[in-house]
Amino acid sequence: MDKKPGMRIRVKIRNMMRAIFIALFLTGIGLNGDVVHADAIFEPENSFYENHRQDCEYVDRSYTADGPEGIVELYESPESSKVIETAENGSTFYVSFSYTDGESIEWAICENNETGSSGWVPMEYLSVVYDEISFEEEYGESITEESGALDSSNMGKTVNFWRYPGSEEAFPMEIGNDYTPEYSKVFVDEQDRRWGFISYYK
């Protein structure tokens, strides 16, 4: 299937923005203080979603295809038999919202990270990619409520962010000269390193 002009660029920009706004864990070096709150929700360009926005649930997570016959099909809508794209199991998708139809089938509006194509897939054919939500579900009892911010001595410096403690995926970002990221929860790992939970970073 041919990619739409500019589609790959748009996908890269969206992924970059998720890296900034998604909940990240920040390694705990010099934590203190307070900061402001902000949210960024990226809505899909899909007519069915636009017509059923009030019935959709926000998901904002990545999944891999896990269909029963080795593939998943992306449909135009939960009410359409038109297939937009067929993807092999293991393909990765970004799921922004889900919708439950009249037969209690939960559908996900997916964007294929490789092709940029988007469509609807039954959630039962998707497996969540381990992320910060998975980490909280697994280690929730060891995470404590504690607010503060990265020490101001880090202003103007590049700091690594991780999706969760132990994640292999890190995001080096420069801290501004007038703002330091805030954290709302703390996790202490087996090496006694403190990790602050950052719900967004602008």
What is the predicted pLDDT for the residue at 40? Answer: 58
**Position 1 in a domain:** no
Q: In this structure, are residues 134 and 146 in contact, taking their beta carbons and an 8 Å threshold?
A: no
What is the predicted pLDDT for the residue at 5? Answer: 36
**H or E element, residue 186:** strand 182-188
Of 55-69, 70-84, 155-169, minimum mean pLDDT range: 155-169
CATH code (residue 75):
2.30.30.40
Structural domain count of the chain:
2
Q: Among the ranges 34-43, 134-143, 165-174, which has the highest mean pLDDT value?
A: 134-143
Residue 191 and residue 160 share a domain: yes
Is residue 77 packed enough to be buried (19+ CB in 10 Å), middle (13-18) or exposed (0-12)?
buried
What pTM did the predictor assign?
A: 0.74
Task: Tell me the residue range of the domain where 142 lies.
Answer: 7-39+131-198
Residue 62 and residue 121 share a domain: yes
In this predicted model, what pLDDT tens digit does every residue of 80-138 receive, in sequence order? 999 999 999 999 999 999 999 999 999 999 999 899 899 999 999 999 999 989 999 99
What is the predicted pLDDT for the residue at 29? Answer: 46
**Position 190 in a domain:** yes
